[in-house]
Amino acid sequence: MATNKEELSLLGVIGSPFVCRVQIALKLKGIEYKFLQENMANKSELLLKYNPVHKKIPVFVHNEKPIAESLIIIEYIDETWNQNPILPSHPYQKALARFWSKFIDDKVVGAAWKAFMTVDEKEREKNTEEVLEALQFLENEIKDKFFGGEEIGLVDIAAVFIAFWVPIFQEIGGLRLFPSDKFPKLYEWSQELINHPVVKEVLPPRDPVFAFFKARYESLVASK
Ligand SMILES: N[C@@H](CCC(=O)N[C@@H](CS)C(=O)NCC(=O)O)C(=O)O
């Protein structure tokens, strides 16, 4: 547990899947922290100071020491606070968890975003195909309730983007990014995840997130 001496803060915005990942990890550990709301249209001095390389959120700050990149932050949290482990202890299982969470960032996040944020039909199709191909690997990978087994682990946290954000992009963009008939196991997993009490508490309310991305999509369509 964080002691009184620890100063913990998280720079982020509500509605970011990467920030949400860190919030899930902190909640699973039962760690209290201060949430510092960032303004992405006018990034704060603090963000530029703490993440001068990427200038992105989330940034987790532990006693004035900043850490960037959601998956790296989660590993740091897991190594710093032992309760409710997020990564497996066995080196091989740990390597697999890292492999699949990186796979989600490399193969799903970018392609899903590109499929959604374009009006070019060819781009949509190409990126949708990439997402479907990647999701098939994940569909084959689920053996238990969660990727982490009976409990939520690193891959589940990384994949919250698939469970919560991808269906929003799918609906707004009229895409077939995450069809439940094609990925029944992944769909069932996604429902378990978003209804898990910890995740449910941390997830942003769907309606404003939906409205935010819809407005972005409509302005993209209008600009073409
Ligand atoms: N790989 C990073 C991605 C973080 C990211 O893309 N954050 C977005 C918000 S959702 C951001 O800060 N964007 C600001 C920018 O690109 O200037 C992570 O996992 O933390």
- Using a 6 Å cutoff on CB, does residue 102 contact ligand 1? no
Model confidence pLDDT, tens digit, residues 180-201 = 999 999 999 999 999 999 999 9
Residue 186 main-chain phi, psi, to 5 deg:
-65, -35
- Using a 6 Å cutoff on CB, does residue 70 contact ligand 1? yes
The model's pTM: 0.96
User: At which of 51, 80, 109 does a domain end?
Assistant: 80
Ligand 1 atom 17, closest CA: 56
- Using a 6 Å cutoff on CB, does residue 38 contact ligand 1? no
Strand partners, 60: 10, 67
Q: Structurally, how many domains does the chain consist of?
A: 2
pLDDT along the chain (224 residues), means of 10: 76 97 98 97 97 98 98 98 97 98 98 96 97 98 95 98 98 97 98 98 97 96 89
**How long, in residues, is the chain?**
224
List, edge to edge, every strand of the sheet that includes 59-62.
Answer: 34-37, 8-12, 59-62, 65-68
Strand partners, 68: 59
Per DSSP bridges, beta strands 34-37 and 8-12 are: parallel
- Using a 6 Å cutoff on CB, does residue 176 contact ligand 1? no
With both helix axes pointing from N to C terminus, report the angle between 91-103 and 121-141 in degrees, rounded to the nearest 10.
160
CATH for 20? 3.40.30.10
User: At which of 80, 104, 132 does a domain end?
Assistant: 80
| CA of residue 19 to ligand 1 center, whole Å | 9
- Domain assignment present for 151: yes
- Domain assignment present for 46: yes
Q: Find out whether 162 and 21 touch, Cβ atoms under 8 Å.
A: no
Q: Which pLDDT score, from 0 to 100, does residue 6 have?
A: 87
